Chains A and B, each alone.
Chain A
């Protein structure tokens, strides 16, 4: 067994420990953020160096292929941006900065393992490592709203885990194995396709994972948790946690349940339609921008699920590409919000009135990201939607794509409403909105990504296709 295959995870874990240790000795706490970000170069370098390998370890439980490596790099970039954007926010929990960064890194370790496991028990363990870190992070502010959000997330997460385990148990009971590829073989060999128990298992797996990606009707935790959690954590939840959920779903459903794709494809298609519609319609009524983005992220999960419903290689590569576009866009939006709400101490959309005059660049970035979320060119959001919709059409899901298109029209209303408030409203005061260099760097990176993916998506798209092609044998 080659321990080198685990080097990204091991080095990240080591980095988390180093940060905690440094926290004990160091007085200048801001350095912890620097160490975390700079330290991320090590696991990233290991990940890039591993690119091209296709091996398994731990008796096939762990797989290092381009699919998992792609997601590992993705999570590392996301956590780097989140840490950078936290520098302006960390004063709210000044005494616990070290723990904050360390737990973020641990959550990332869990996500990297999620993308890399090919065995039900390991998936569950990785999921819990991620989940528990995220519960802690959600409650990190220790005020009423944050604690409430953390506890809610924990309890509902436990329910979802139970459901998931039940589903895994059913699948294991039927097939006698926890290895994904062996499950697929067993399903075909033993003619389990029409078995109601397998269907039940699939439904429970959909529900359990559906909680992670915030699909309706398993989305209730989202608005409360997004609103209560520290804003950088909200950004992290909305992007990385969702992406990890999709990575696992792709792995499990394509590799283990591929033979039953007709069944779960239709389930995902229906849930996708409901999810995007509920997310968008409820988002319209929101007056708090974090809540609005919460519902928006539910809607985006709906679009993403079109890629699952398509149950094809085009679908999975479109999904992976969509995740990257969505990550840059949503992170950009949240980073801008962190900077603005830091100053005005409010998340009410009405308080963003005339923000373009108080913070021209932040506003421009926020507007760009909202336009991208609405799917208007020349941004990443447009390309992402284009791909995933055409994947849907290729798989004959014309009805779903039509619903999705109608949804993007509805969604444009609430995204552009914020843009209008920012640009056309009267400013509530003339005070400028300051932001740190680290945050500006993160924001610029995200915005550049949004534009680059909107105008020249080929490179990332090719990589996404390569990554997605790993899934089917």
Chain B
């Protein structure tokens, strides 16, 4: 496959962004649909090219295509080359990003219809898709980091897409700040690795880590720094707080960016740097523990949310935790010697990324379903829904398939990928396995709670609304049906083997006792949801009362928002120091000029103002500064 075509995979969406921004939006704003078509065409071609790349890679030795690289930056004697990596991991990600993106763009044609920012929306979506594809293909950390920031920027722009809503603007800022916190660590790690090795090339860094050329402490700190970036993007504890708020953006954005692709970038990064992580026991154990804990921690909050998108958001965090858990436990297996290095490296990536692959389809479908539901009811609050099964059969049916897949019911996609993670944690870190299996129960419960609340029973919204209940237009339903098919069959595709994992036969998987354990737990979760919200054998209200402290704990999200906003980020920084500086600037500096001189302006402003002492203060500061430097120099030298 020619290298130009591989580059075209991520350049095409950028091209589409440019066309929309510089041609369509200025000159053809009266025909907004054009921008949607351009986006869809560009991403469609990217998808075709990605499939081509997949075929080429599966036939190539070691599943790697050799690509030329280019000299990019020369610093002193160091030459930084950039190029693309086209291996199994990269092409699987390409398929995920392009296919989900294509479905979401088609859906958006219907969902965003009539919105004043239609062109802007598709421009940002193109920009995002291009950046995400670039991130996946990048073969060095610096290059990867550029796209990493690019997708973060798009996420910020798209969360705040409806900027006139104050919550949206606030959520965008929160996402920006919280993920930045993680990016600090990532950038520091990149610099640290560069300072120690003189390279940004991921392949070289992997080799240096495996051969032990990077020292223990350095490696550990670097890996933990990279993980902090990954945790920020993938909303892992304790940087998870931004993702639920990010639901303020348009729903297709949530489906693409905050369910299937960008949030999975953190998992991808850990998989891409897996040899580095696996070489440090501390780092990989951290990944496993954070992943396992996040999975159950986020699921517990998903149990009680009333906003359908928030349930899905917590579910996403929880599932991303699963992926980290899969990567982490296999890595722990490697470092404790349970599994050979060579086998383990491939297995870890396969376990984590296979779940990323299946999750992308069913979770984006769940979001699109939620969007379809709100399209009809005008709300995301499940307390004002109910009985939508009859009015919206297609939405219901596809949502049900995705939910079963998420719950991990055989033989849907989620079952196969979740099994791999459960098996890995069972074999290598049994403690985390127990957390994971409880999470299976919670997952099944919360997603079927959504089903029964939304589609079961009678409609609880306003009377006026009930007349308007209608199925969504075909342009929205077609992508949902395609994704539903993928949510069924994605687990049966030989992706796991392609990435180097173990294969299972269709029925053979059921011969494993672990499969039955997880199916029983998932079935239990579904049954409990039915008992409470479907058949109403148990009263949700009285349960809530009985378990009031736990319910409050979950629904207040463990008070993390309050903790962060009151103690750390906002209050202290924004309202404290910055406000103080602002006050200082307003009252002392400007006040010295305006306030004091205000009464005597008429007399001769310039000279008067100079007598307020301000200038003398400046002069004094110069000399104090000199004295301070002199003092420092003589003390320290």
Chain A residues in the interface with B (C-beta under 8 A) = 144, 147-148, 151-152, 155-156, 159-160, 163, 196, 199-200, 203-204, 206-207, 211, 216-218, 220-221, 223, 263, 266-267, 270-271, 281-282, 284-286, 314, 360, 376-378, 383, 386-387, 389-391, 393-394, 398, 401-402, 405-406, 409, 412-413, 420, 424-426, 458, 461
Contact = CB atoms under 8 A, between A and B. Distances in A.
B605 A207 contact: no
B626 to A, nearest CB: 5
A426 B169 CA distance: 13
Most B-side CB within 10 Å, residue of A211, A314, A390, A425: A390
Given A163-B626, A387-B75, A401-B191, A148 B605 contact: yes
Nearest to A408: B187
Contacts of B579: 285
Nearest to A160: B622
Contact of A314 (B76, B160, B191, B582): B76
16 contacts: A148-B610, A155-B619, A156-B618, A156-B622, A199-B634, A203-B629, A218-B625, A220-B617, A220-B622, A221-B618, A282-B581, A284-B581, A285-B585, A314-B76, A376-B153, A386-B73
A284 B195 CA distance: 31
A398 B191 CA distance: 9
A217 B618 CA distance: 9
Nearest to A223: B589
Contact of A156 (B78, B194, B589, B619): B619
Interface in B591-615: 593, 605-606, 609-610, 615
Interface in B150-175: 153, 157, 160, 163-164, 169
Contact of B582 (A216, A267, A285, A405): A285
A405 B187 contact: yes
A266 B635 CA distance: 13
A211 to B, nearest CB: 7
B581 A393 contact: no
B184 A409 contact: yes
B226 to A, nearest CB: 15
B548 interface: no
B585 A393 contact: no
A298 to B, nearest CB: 14
A281 B581 CA distance: 9
A267 B633 contact: yes
A151 to B, nearest CB: 6
Nearest to B630: A203
Nearest to B169: A424
B606 A390 contact: no
Contacts of A207: 622, 625-626, 629
A186 to B, nearest CB: 20
B621 interface: yes
A200 B605 contact: no
B625 A285 contact: no
Contacts of A282: 581, 585
Interface string B516-556: 00000000000000000000000000000000000000000
B615 A393 contact: no
Interface string B386-426: 00000000000000000000000000000000000000000
| Closest 9 pairs between A and B when the two form their complex, measured CB to CB | A217-B625, A285-B582, A220-B618, A424-B163, A285-B581, A390-B75, A207-B626, A144-B605, A377-B146
Contacts of B610: 148, 151-152, 155
A217 B605 contact: no
B73 A206 contact: no
A239 to B, nearest CB: 23
A426 B191 contact: no
Contact of B164 (A266, A270, A286, A426): A426
Interface residues of B, number: 52
A341 to B, nearest CB: 19
B606 A151 contact: yes
Nearest to A426: B164
Contacts of B195: 393, 398
Nearest to B617: A220
Contacts of B618: 152, 156, 220-221
A196 B629 contact: no
A306 to B, nearest CB: 13
Contact of B615 (A152, A394, A425): A152
Contacts of B636: 266
A211 B621 CA distance: 12
Contacts of A156: 615, 618-619, 622
Contacts of A199: 630, 633-634, 637
B632 interface: yes
B621 A217 contact: yes
A284 B177 CA distance: 14
A163 to B, nearest CB: 7
A147 B606 contact: yes
B481 interface: no
Contacts of A394: 76
A203 B75 CA distance: 31
Nearest to B624: A217
Contacts of A263: 633, 637
Nearest to B147: A377
B606 A144 contact: yes
Most A-side CB within 10 Å, residue of B177, B582, B605, B625: B625
B634 A196 contact: yes
Nearest to A402: B188
A200 B630 contact: yes
B188 A211 contact: no
A405 B26 contact: no
A408 to B, nearest CB: 9
Nearest to A220: B618
A420 B164 CA distance: 12
Nearest to B142: A386
A211 B593 CA distance: 22
B183 interface: yes
A377 B610 CA distance: 44
Given A156-B615, A314-B76, A218 B622 contact: yes
